[in-house]
Amino acid sequence: MKLAFTAADEQFREEVADWLNDNLRDEFTDIRYRGGPGDEHRFVDERKAWERRLADGRWTCIGWPEAWGGRAASIEQQVIFHEEYARAGGPGRMGHIGDTLTGPTLLAFGSEHQKAKYLPPIRDGMAFWSQGYSEPGAGSDLAAIRTKAVQDEISGQWKITGQKVWTSLAHESDFVFVLARVDRDSSRHHGLGFFLVALDQPGVTIRPINQLTGTAEFNEVYFDDAVCDAEDIVGAPGDGWKVAMGLLGFERGVSTLGQQMLFQTELDEIIRIAKANGASRDPDIRQRIAEAHIGLKTMRYNSMRMLSGREDGSLSREAMIYKLYWSSWHRNLGKLAMDVLGPDAELIESGSYELNKLQSLFLFTRADTIYGGTNQIQRNLIAERALGMPKEPRGQGK
């Protein structure tokens, strides 16, 4: 165990801080601290432009191998990058899904053709991705998906038909990765394929879904004979589940480091408001601020422990507890934010239904315990997979 950064790491930190200081200004001043969870629909064009600026500085996809334009940054360096990015008020990353989900998945499971075709535009901040897993009948029970992909025997091209739902930011994206059934007689996690699909085509219809925040960050995505080239299925037909689960592993890995930094800025903001409006004199609020701090530090130490010594971004078993831990912590933070605001928590500053940052935080944390596997499903996984407890009886999956 050695809990310190090296001199080289500290030099890297300086490099990141300097670059951000030189670039996150002028036309990008307005997007500082914007576009985080609950605010993702804001400043989309500006944030896409910011991705290109990041790319110019080689600050997108820093964990990728150098051959694909990354920096092969160590875990420590990635931690440092996220810390400095948050400290500078770096905006919510439009390229997040491509950088941390599509990229690592293609690097692990993709063909050379797929890497050459899809990685450079992600790396350059030119292509944005969304995640097409959930369907109306397949939420917690992901293996129940019914969207199907049929291959043309001559051209080899796939035609995809079905409906995805809750697809975050599909309306701002260029591509979606789709989990679909390639074998019509298959069931559950057998007979699935993992497809890379362009959204801008006649067979795809995207309908935003309004959220209780009054904004629309997620969508229904309808596929009606949407086309996908023979080369654009990741892994073999039938390997879809394996690829999809591999991707979920990345979702719980390094990509979470940036999220914790965001949590830190939120907590700092809550503390600032509590001091300003006098809520910090309330003994109950003081206790809860301390608890929030303790919870966040604990989360951080555990993440570092999880990632330690795993340069490939793979995870140790402790990773299974992470989603449940952070979503519950964040939900409590949202409640604390509202209690610190006091009677004003209910009031929306602008005339239209546009929530302020802490209100969005509160409402958004209500989704944290749902997406990416609900808290209940996480507990089942911990009990059944990690601890080996007897499995709860399930119905006959359709």
Partner 1 sequence: MNFNFTQDQLDFQDAISSMLRTEVTADSIRARWQNESGIDSAFMQQAHDLGLNSMLIPESLGGLGLTAVDFILLAEACGEVALPEPLVESVMVTTPSLVDILDQGLGNADVQKVIDGVLAGDVRVALGHTINPCINYADSADWFLLPDGDGVYLLPKEAVTLEAKTSVDPSRRLFSASFAASDAYLVADGEAGANLQRATLNRGALASAAQLVGLSRGMLQQSVSYTSDREQFGRAIGANQAVKHLVADVAVQVEYAKPVIYRAAYTVGVSPSRADFAVSHAKSAAGRAGLLASRHCMQVFGAMGYTWECDLQIWAKRAWALAREWGDEGFHTNRIHEWLLRKNALLGPEYTFGRGSLTDRAKAG
Ligand X SMILES: Cc1cc2nc3c(=O)[nH]c(=O)nc-3n(C[C@H](O)[C@H](O)[C@H](O)COP(=O)(O)OP(=O)(O)OC[C@H]3O[C@@H](n4cnc5c(N)ncnc54)[C@H](O)[C@@H]3O)c2cc1C
For residues 341 and 285, is the Cβ–Cβ distance under 8 A? no
Q: Are strands 175-181 and 129-132 parallel, antiparallel or unpaired?
A: parallel
The 158-197 contact track toward partner 1, x by CB under 8 A, reads -------xx-------------------------------
By the rule CB under 6 A, 126 interacts with ligand X: no
Smallest separation (angstroms) from partner 1 to the CB of 391: 11
**Residue closest to ligand X (Cβ):** 139
Q: d(Cα 106, Cα 255) in Å, to the nearest integer?
A: 16
| Annotated active-site residue in 15, 251, 269, 354 | 251
Which region holds residue 103: left if phi is over 0, alpha if psi is between -120 and 50, else beta?
Answer: alpha
- Mark out the alpha helices in 26-163 (DSSP H runs): 44-56, 75-87, 96-97, 103-109, 112-123
By the rule CB under 8 A, 380 interacts with partner 1: yes
What are the φ/ψ torsions at residue 78 (nearest 5 degrees)? -65, -40
Q: To which H or E segment does residue 164 belong?
A: strand 158-168
By the rule CB under 6 A, 371 interacts with ligand X: yes
Task: From the list ligand X, partner 1, none, pick the one residue 251 interacts with, judged by a Cβ distance below 5 to 8 Å according to partner type.
Answer: none
By the rule CB under 8 A, 390 interacts with partner 1: no
By the rule CB under 8 A, 396 interacts with partner 1: yes
By the rule CB under 8 A, 26 interacts with partner 1: no
Task: From the list partner 1, ligand X, none, pick the one residue 284 interacts with, judged by a Cβ distance below 5 to 8 Å according to partner type.
Answer: partner 1
For residues 149 and 182, is the Cβ–Cβ distance under 8 A? yes
Residue whose pair of structure tokens reads 């950088």 in the numeric block: 99
Which residue type is seen at 365? Answer: T
For residues 319 and 253, is the Cβ–Cβ distance under 8 A? yes
The 122-141 contact track toward partner 1, x by CB under 8 A, reads ------------x--x-xxx
| Pick 264 or 365: Cβ nearer partner 1 | 365
How far CA 109 is from CA of 76, 181, 229, 232, 314, in Å, comes to 25, 18, 17, 12, 14
The 259-288 contact track toward partner 1, x by CB under 8 A, reads -----------------------x-xx---
Contacts to partner 1 from residues 283-312, by CB under 8 A: 284-285
By the rule CB under 6 A, 134 interacts with ligand X: yes
For residues 78 and 62, is the Cβ–Cβ distance under 8 A? yes
Binding partner 1 (rule: CB under 8 A), the pick from 44, 108, 345, 382 is 345
Contacts of 325 (CB under 8 A, 6+ apart): 299, 302
Residue 251 annotated to the active site: yes
Contact footprint for ligand X (CB under 6 A) = 130-134, 139-140, 166-168, 218, 367, 370-372, 374, 376-377, 380
Contact footprint for partner 1 (CB under 8 A) = 134, 137, 139-141, 144, 165-166, 209-212, 214, 218, 282, 284-285, 331, 335, 338-339, 342-348, 350-353, 355, 359, 363, 366-367, 369-371, 374-376, 379-380, 392, 394-398
